[in-house]
């Protein structure tokens, strides 16, 4: 069991909290110490298979020569940790004001995914040229008309996203058919506008501090008409506001009341005012809460007493089948969840190595390119007294970790070296014992 596999399948925060333990110190204390800590199965928290992979470098930059907008536009793309070495496809989060928010939002996603609260996603941040033009659905009124003369280009900007940005992303990256749109302030206004004009373009919407007061509440009034006639709407909407008095606050309350009055099949929504945030600071927390809403129900059900995955592999497969139906694309039971279930059998108070081995074999079948699945199966064989079966699997894990530039390659290599040396020692001991028996037999002749 590597440090990654240990933390993939289980973690014991109450044992580690306030102590001197770290993943590195656990490695130095050896397998026995790790198993001793984990053997209680007091509380298990799932980490993704990229639990210790850190996001390296900044986002990629794409330049789209837009015929719709008549200008070059820079698009920032942040792929998940491990994207370069796996073959997985991911949902996509499209975001206005990309350069301002891609950093903290990417970190929020990595944190939530690592803790089993959402999937990893590709983040696409659209940077600005004329922000007011692109994000406002109508010309300004009153003093805003002179102050923002280019306003009113949201429909054209939406056409740019639909016909140029999305096709470019879906051609260049491995994506799942699930899209999220997020925007703040004018971007939040644009997000609401997109929902009520092109609702099928995205599966979920996160509208932070939407400027619904713009143009004498034109978008709010349009939303009232939209929701009045809509019978079915298979999307999720999260909208939020900070401590923001005035028209923006008044119209947020009206929007929330409008949502509360809906009874639309398939429509899931939540509106929250965060009174200890302001118009600027509300974004980070809103993206966290909004993504939790979008991915509501993502985490596997847990045993309330132990924190273990409840129901074994059969229940896990059923849960991810339910998620597949909810998100409308195939979501396989993750390697890390299967790994955790295997270790629940292996390290239980009354171990069940046969079930552990069967579970780890399933993981090998489903994720044959992962070093960790072979390492875990090898450990189960070794604990069951079959070091001769385990050693080739440790070797396979070592080879794959090198091939995949796995951050835990050194640990996999150490496991293979240890098992290989131990197997040689056992073979030498058997040979020595056989030689002694032969000598004894000769003397007795």
Helix (H, G, I), strand (E, B) or coil at 40: coil
Tell whether 111 is covered by a domain.
yes
Say whether pLDDT at 367 is over 50.
yes
Q: Which of the two residues, 436 and 222, has the higher pLDDT score? A: 222
Q: Provide the 8-state DSSP code for 416.
A: H
Band (pLDDT 50/70/90 cuts) for residue 49 is very low
39-60 burial by CB neighbour count: b if 16+ within 10 A, else e?
bebbbbbbbbbbbbbebeeebe
Query: Are 327 and 288 in the same domain?
Result: no
Half-sphere exposure of 70 (CA within 13 A, CB side): 4
Helix (H, G, I), strand (E, B) or coil at 103: helix
The residue out of 245, 274, 294 marking a domain boundary is 294
Say whether pLDDT at 28 is over 90.
no
Tell whether 439 is covered by a domain.
no
Q: What gap in Å lies between CA 321 and CA 329, rounded to an integer?
A: 10
Q: What rounded mean pLDDT belongs to the chain? A: 87
Contact 121, 182 (CB under 8 A): no
Query: Are 125 and 238 in the same domain?
Result: yes
Q: What gap in Å lies between CA 320 and CA 311, rounded to an integer?
A: 13
The residue out of 294, 329, 357 marking a domain boundary is 294
The residue out of 270, 294, 318 marking a domain boundary is 294
Residue 329 structural domain: 3-46+300-433
Tell whether 95 is covered by a domain.
yes
C-alpha distance from residue 299 to each of 176, 178, 192 (Å):
19, 18, 28
Q: Where are the alpha helices (DSSP H) in 136-235?
A: 143-147, 154-160, 166-172, 186-197, 214-229
pLDDT at residue number 86 = 83
pLDDT at residue number 57 = 67
Question: Average pLDDT for residues 291-295, to the nearest whole number?
Answer: 98
Q: Which of the two residues, 233 and 427, has the higher pLDDT score? A: 233
Tell whether 35 is covered by a domain.
yes
Say whether pLDDT at 18 is over 90.
no
pLDDT at residue number 307 = 83
Q: For the segment 67-85, what is each residue's pLDDT rounded down to a tens digit?
A: 999 999 999 999 998 898 7
Q: How many folded domains does the chain comprise?
A: 2
Q: For the segment 123-177, what is each residue's pLDDT rounded down to a tens digit?
A: 999 999 999 999 999 999 988 889 999 999 999 999 999 999 999 999 999 999 9
Query: Are 68 and 42 in the same domain?
Result: no
Query: Are 116 and 203 in the same domain?
Result: yes
pLDDT at residue number 166 = 98
Q: What gap in Å lies between CA 98 and CA 115, rounded to an integer?
A: 25
Say whether pLDDT at 9 is over 50.
no
Query: Are 382 and 402 in the same domain?
Result: yes
Query: Are 173 and 263 in the same domain?
Result: yes
With CA atoms as reference, report the closest residue to 93 among 82, 101, 85. 101
* Domain containing residue 363: CATH number: 1.25.40.10
pLDDT at residue number 136 = 98
């Amino acid at each position: 069991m590597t440090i990654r596999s240990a933390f993939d399948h289980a973690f014991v925060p109450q044992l580690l909290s306030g102590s001197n333990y770290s993943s590195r110190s656990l490695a130095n204390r050896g397998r026995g110490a790790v198993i001793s800590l984990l053997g209680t199965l007091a509380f298990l928290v799932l980490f993704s298979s990229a639990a210790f992979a850190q996001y390296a470098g900044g986002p990629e930059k794409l330049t789209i020569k837009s015929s719709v907008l008549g200008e070059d536009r820079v698009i920032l793309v942040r792929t998940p940790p491990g994207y370069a070495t796996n073959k997985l496809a991911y949902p996509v989060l499209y975001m206005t004001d990309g350069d301002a928010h891609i950093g903290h939002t990417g970190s929020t996603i990595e944190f939530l995914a690592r803790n089993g609260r959402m999937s990893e996603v590709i983040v696409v941040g659209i940077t600005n040229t004329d922000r007011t033009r692109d994000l406002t659905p109508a010309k300004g009124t009153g003093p805003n008309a002179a102050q923002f003369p280019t306003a009113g280009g949201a429909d054209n900007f939406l056409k740019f996203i639909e016909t140029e940005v999305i096709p470019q992303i879906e051609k260049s990256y491995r994506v799942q058919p699930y899209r999220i749109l997020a925007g703040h302030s004018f971007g939040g206004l644009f997000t609401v506008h997109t929902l009520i004009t092109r609702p099928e373009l995205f599966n979920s919407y996160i509208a932070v501090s939407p400027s619904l007061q713009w143009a004498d509440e034109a978008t709010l009034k349009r939303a009232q008409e939209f929701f009045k006639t809509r019978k079915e709407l298979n999307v999720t909407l999260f909208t939020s506001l900070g401590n923001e008095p005035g028209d923006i606050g008044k119209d947020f309350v009206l929007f929330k009341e409008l949502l509360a009055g809906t009874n639309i099949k398939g429509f899931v929504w939540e509106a929250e005012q965060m009174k200890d945030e302001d118009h600027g600071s509300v974004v980070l927390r809103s993206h966290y809460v909004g993504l939790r809403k979008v991915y509501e129900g993502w985490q596997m059900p847990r045993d309330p007493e132990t924190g273990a995955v409840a129901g074994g592999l059969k229940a896990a497969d059923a849960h991810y089948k339910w998620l597949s139906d909810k998100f409308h694309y195939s979501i396989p039971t993750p390697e890390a969840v299967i790994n955790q279930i295997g270790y629940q059998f292996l390290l239980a108070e009354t171990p069940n190595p046969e079930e552990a081995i069967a579970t780890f074999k399933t993981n090998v079948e489903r994720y044959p390119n992962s070093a960790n699945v072979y390492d875990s199966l090898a450990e189960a064989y070794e604990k069951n007294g079959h070091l001769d079966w385990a050693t080739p699997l440790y070797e396979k894990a070592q080879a794959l970790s090198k091939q995949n530039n796995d951050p835990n390659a050194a640990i996999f290599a150490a496991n293979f070296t240890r098992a290989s040396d131990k197997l040689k020692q056992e073979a030498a001991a058997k040979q020595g014992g056989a030689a002694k028996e032969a000598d004894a037999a000769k003397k007795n002749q």
